[in-house]
Amino acid sequence: MPIKTLEPNLLQRVEAWLKGPFDEATKREIQRLMESDPQGLSDAFFKDLSFGTGGMRGLMGVGPNRMNVYTIRAATQGLANYLNKQPKPEEGRHTVFIGYDVRHHSKEFASEAARVLAANEIRVLLTSDICPTPLVSYGCRHYGCSAAIMITASHNPPAYNGYKVYWGDGGQVVPPHDIGIIEEVRQVATHAPISLAPADSPLIETIEQEIDEDYLTELVKLQLHPEIASDELNLLYTPLHGTGIRIIPQALASWGYHHLHLIEEQKDPDPNFSNAPSPNPEEQKALEIGMAILRKTNADLLIATDPDADRMGLVALDKGHPFRFTGNQIACLSLFHICNTLATRGILPSNAAFIKTIVTTELFRAIAESFGGLCIDVLTGFKYIGEQITLWEKSFDANQFIYGAEESYGYLFGTMVRDKDAINAACLIAEAAMLAKKQGLTLVDRLYQLYEKFGIYREAVANLAFAESAAGLANMQELMKQLRQNPPASIGGQLIVAFEDYQTGLSRDLQHHTEKRLSLPSSDVLCFWFADWSKLVIRPSGTEPKIKIYAEVIEKHADPIEHAIHRADGKLQHLLTSFQGLLK
């Protein structure tokens, strides 16, 4: 594909890289794409990689629409510009903590970010080795940093990488700082010269694994039942080739759980995730090796964490068969364990508060409120949980945060971290399992006890995919518009009693014909409520061309439990199928 045949705008963008201050290997790769992969060239250059409210994430490769050292430098220069417009700390300069995961180029990207910050007179604390995301949030707070960066693409496939930004409270950036950083990043062109300090700059300090010891010291303070810790609990653990191997075995041991066997095929850090297809603990295929060993060894639990160790999956044996818990179920088991323990001892604070996202199960609310706690909803994304913790801390009549969770396998107990924390979650669920075992129960039994007490809550997620094009995006937006303007009166034979539109900020009671304002920020989310408090939530994905449909049904009659679960699952599938039928 000769360069002169490219569209003028694309040609201009490609020439800027061919003639600009880029290394020869990058220019050779651009030439190769021009000659043998014109579509790949177009994809890599037709736009700049988006830097959004959570940072950026994308395929690695050459060009402004890819993760590479140049897009990393540009993003970091924007962050540096924003930081240097903020009031300086007492020591006279800002400090940024940087961690990175096991992915290809993660260490290189972290080093490049450090060099840009140092060139802008910003002190950097750079981890010496792979680092779980929770340790970055913790390190940001522990060292009194102004911000932090985590180089990770979480559980995305191996070809991806990403760049997450945290603020000084240890939470992911939220307004106004996210908007301010985005604006600064937009003003930095990827082909503009960006100053780099040498890698051995005195402003770049290496953080060794002493941070692990500090984190573990604080983590042990969260232990609820140190008296029951025992090697009787037989645990399997897989980091899915990720960063969890650095600290989770030590964390479990610090709580007294030493009987831990690693899934050998998946224990070593590996940027290709060779034995963990789709390294996501939400997906069964990532857990199949571990589940086979669980059956063979008859262990109590299989714990799995994603590559940056912020999400945790869980499997137990139920009548000899693996039982994969959902993120909602893990959250509710952990919540009940915390509340029941604190309430039994008479130390559950009178202002105890719990946080879930709007797409997380309502069973979470039922449990929290049964113990007299306050449960609030936030928008989808754990950063909003972290934000709410900080808001409560700054308030004079504050609620006391105890526990927060989201359905997508993210959990947080206590406030030492301000993002989802699989290290913390693994210890807590191991303790809950040990307490159940001492009572002759499994976590599956404990879940069924919750169902018998509160009702059976069953959830599922469906995706409505659109083409990755301008037309696909337009179709997705039009569908949301139609649902917003003409919401159905019923779905699957069930009458809708309330309709919430988080974009307009209005909740409509369709039975009493009243309206009230929603308290959450504007977001492109719709929620339909049914008479039995079943619900359906619809929102466009923030990272992919698809609409996500979250459904939850409640079955109050739980006897016998297996039959009731079957009935609930049938209702759930009927609701999802009926709604998808309305969209066609």
Active site amino acids: 154
Written in H, E and C, the secondary structure of 352-421 is: EEEEEECCCCHHHHHHHHHCCCEEEEECCCHHHHHHHHHHHHHCCCCCEEEEEEECCCEEEECCCCCCCC
Q: What is the rounded CA–CA span in Å between residue 101 and residue 240?
A: 12
Q: What is the rounded CA–CA span in Å between residue 464 and residue 501?
A: 19
Reference 291, options 269, 254, 265, 268; nearest CA is: 265
Strand order in the sheet with 56-59: 56-59, 160-167, 147-151, 95-100, 123-127, 204-207
Partnered with residue 191 across adjacent β-strands are: none
Chain centre to alpha carbon of residue 583? 29
DSSP-derived secondary structure for 182-247:
HHHHHTS-TTS------TT-TTEEEE-THHHHHHHHHHHTT-S-GGG--TTS-EEEE-TTSGGGGT
Reference 343, options 375, 371, 309; nearest CA is: 371
Q: Which residue do the tokens 């696909």 mark? A: 472
Neighbours of 121 (CB within 10 A): 13
Q: What is the rounded CA–CA span in Å between residue 581 and residue 393?
A: 46
Query: Which tokens in the block code for residue 176?
Result: 């106004």
> First vs last Cα of the chain: how many Å apart?
40
Q: What is the rounded CA–CA span in Å between residue 76 and residue 70?
A: 10
Q: What is the rounded CA–CA span in Å between residue 421 and residue 417?
A: 7
- What residues have CB less than 8 Å from 283, skipping those under 6 apart? none
Per-residue DSSP letter, 228: G
Neighbours of 411 (CB within 10 A): 26
Per-residue DSSP letter, 134: H
What is the β-pairing status of strands 410-413 and 535-540?
Answer: unpaired
| Cis peptide, bond prior to residue 176, ω within 30 of zero | yes
Helix/strand/coil for 141? helix
Number of residues written out for the chain:
584
DSSP-derived secondary structure for 275-298:
T-SS--TTSHHHHHHHHHHHHHHT
Neighbours of 156 (CB within 10 A): 20
